[in-house]
Amino acid sequence: MARGFDTPPHDKAFANRRRDPATKREAVLTTAAQLFIEKSYGRASMNDVAERLKITKPALYHYFQNKEQILLECYRLGSALIEETLNEIASHGGTGVEKVSAFIYSYANVMTINFGRCVMRLDEGDLSEDARIEVRKYKRKIDRRLRSFIQDGIDDGSITACDAKLAAFSIAGALNWICQWYEPEGPLSPEEIASQFARTLTQGIARRQRSQSNGH
Amino acid sequence: MARGFDTPPHDKAFANRRRDPATKREAVLTTAAQLFIEKSYGRASMNDVAERLKITKPALYHYFQNKEQILLECYRLGSALIEETLNEIASHGGTGVEKVSAFIYSYANVMTINFGRCVMRLDEGDLSEDARIEVRKYKRKIDRRLRSFIQDGIDDGSITACDAKLAAFSIAGALNWICQWYEPEGPLSPEEIASQFARTLTQGIARRQRSQSNGH
DNA sequence: GCGGAAACTTACCGATGGGTAAGATATCAG
DNA sequence: CTGATATCTTACCCATCGGTAAGTTTCCGC
């Protein structure tokens, strides 16, 4: 996965008045997502978005009904990214712990992409009731999927007996928090983060002394 | 630790005009913290805080210079709570993994208290530059402390060789995320969360099959 | 190359919310 | 009891920001 591929200077899309709504809409979206991550949704004004695209505020309303629709679409795109990887993992098969491990790896990577970050970093409270319900549905689906991977592992013996719900919260928390501290220009690459998290969150960090209850 | 002890109806403090600035100031603070958690800092207006205390907005300015000072104090109180437990753990001694485990347990509990939640859930971006620097200092201190516990464990052999920085991010992430999903009236008690997290974040969730590199 | 539509700008509105000025009212020391 | 002071209220200011109305400019099919 190329680093920072979703953060080019998108003002090029509005360099002329060529009629190409699709790419212009996309440029608005990526710029907005980036600003939402940089400054938060509340502090990123429509003027900020417009300014970065070198246009004026009302022009934005040719591509989106209102600010909330932009936010909602960010959630949708990010959720779609996550769901993609979820389906891929589920179809690949393997033991429970392998699926969890694969989930952690993929999810960690998504959390370093702006749209992915939006899903878990931005505040649902900024959405209207309907939109919030929609977004919650996406999130719940992700949570349920992770939980089912864990449950698969408990069932097939690859994961130790534990509360799957709490385990999912723990893993998801570690992953979701990535979008709070990750910096594209920082020293840690998405791959490093993803692989280490996949290891420590499944295997733990404690050194194994006594050989513990194996098999069943 | 009693559940929900920090969320009584604090409007009692302003029932009359008795001159007791200390308790009234505290009432403002706890009410504000609760509202910040409920609605976020941005959406919780000074009027909201006043309304819940059954006073009017300008009265608040007798106890705090401005809204940001309230926020800053929430950060300070929460950070103090965390630092307390950190010092206690460090003084107790034990192996690295024991200290990490104790850290997880205590920290998870703090994340279920409003002031503790404020520290990791609210947005630093709402603070002025100076205040943000102060808060970052608190957070960095916590992070460094956890990292040192992990490093202790690597040194004393109780923790497997790993990147202490990433391990700390992972654990802190799982814990910090608690303040996003925890509900005081929910089915999970702070103790349950704390103890399970302490176990799975150190021991992992994967079942141990082969007895792995023991002793040293 | 021209006409109509899309793309975009200038100028503006109204709501919200932090914060203040100035006055009213309760408290409490002496 | 009384006056000085802390406490609190009413009324207001103003900056910000989402969103719109109406007009201007560019595009592009015909």
Question: Exposed, middle or buried by CB within 10 Å (0-12, 13-18, 19+), for A90?
Answer: middle
Higher pLDDT, B178 or B15: B178
Best probe of the B interface among A35, A100, A163, A207, by most B CBs < 10 A, is A207
Q: Which residues of chain B make contact with A39, given a CB cutoff of 8 A?
A: 125
Round and report the angstrom distance from CA (A59) to C1' (C1).
28
A 10 A CB-CB count for A153 gives: 27
Q: What percent of chain B has pLDDT above 90? A: 86
Largest Cα–Cα separation, chain B: 70
Whose CA is closest to A103, among A160, A154, A148, A68? A148
Contact B28, B45 (CB under 8 A): no
Distance of alpha carbon B19 from alpha carbon B173, whole angstroms: 43
CB A11 within 8 A of CB A52: yes
Judged against a pLDDT cut of 80, whether residue A4 lies above it is answered with no
Cβ contact A125 with chain C strand, < 7 A: no
- By residue count, chain A amounts to 216
Q: Could you tell me if B96 and B164 are in contact, meaning their C-beta atoms sit under 8 angstroms apart?
A: no
CB contacts of B158 in chain A (<8 Å) are: 206-207
Amino acid A7: pLDDT: 59
Buried/exposed A169-185: b ≥16 CB within 10 Å, e otherwise: bbbbbbbbbbbbebeee
pLDDT value at residue A208:
81
> What pTM was estimated for this model as a whole?
0.92
Range with the poorest average pLDDT among A2-11, A20-29, A82-91, A186-195: A2-11
Report the distance separating Cα A67 and Cα A54, nearest Å: 18
User: Taking CB atoms and an 8 Å limit, are B205 and A209 in contact across chains?
Assistant: no
What are the pLDDT digits (tens) for B118-169? 999 999 999 999 999 999 999 999 999 999 999 999 999 999 999 999 999 9
Q: Please, are residues B13 and B36 in contact by the beta-carbon 8 Å criterion?
A: no
Q: Which of residues 157-216 of B touch strand C (CB under 7 A)?
A: none
Average pLDDT over residues A159-186: 97
Rounded CA separation B45/A205 (Å): 43
Greater model confidence, A198 or A210? A198
Q: Is the pLDDT of residue B86 over 60?
A: yes
Residues 92-111 of B with CB under 8 A from A: 97, 100
C-alpha distances (whole Å) from B166 to each of A77, A175, B153, B169 are 28, 12, 15, 5
Residue the block writes with tokens 């008690």 = B189
Residue B199 has pLDDT above 90, yes or no: yes
Q: Quick: pLDDT tens for A82-137.
A: 999 999 999 998 999 999 999 999 999 999 999 999 999 999 999 999 999 999 99
Q: What is the pLDDT of residue A2?
A: 44
- Phi/psi of residue A150, each to 5°? -65, -45
- Cα–Cα dist A73/A58, whole Å: 19
Of the pLDDT bands very low, low, confident and very high (cuts 50, 70, 90), residue A3 is very low
Those nucleotides of strand D lying less than 7 Å from any protein Cβ are 6-11, 16-22, 25-28
Checking if the pLDDT of B3 tops 50, the result is no
| Nearest chain B CA: its distance from A51 CA (Å) | 21
**Segments in chain B forming alpha helices (H):** 21-39, 46-52, 57-60, 67-92, 96-110, 114-121, 129-156, 164-176, 178-181, 190-203
**Residue A187 sits at the chain B interface (C-beta within 8 Å):** no
Grade residue B12 by pLDDT with cuts at 50, 70 and 90.
Answer: confident
Average pLDDT in chain A: 93
Among chain B residues, the shortest Cα distance to A162 is held by B205
A44 within 8 A of A32, measured Cβ to Cβ: yes
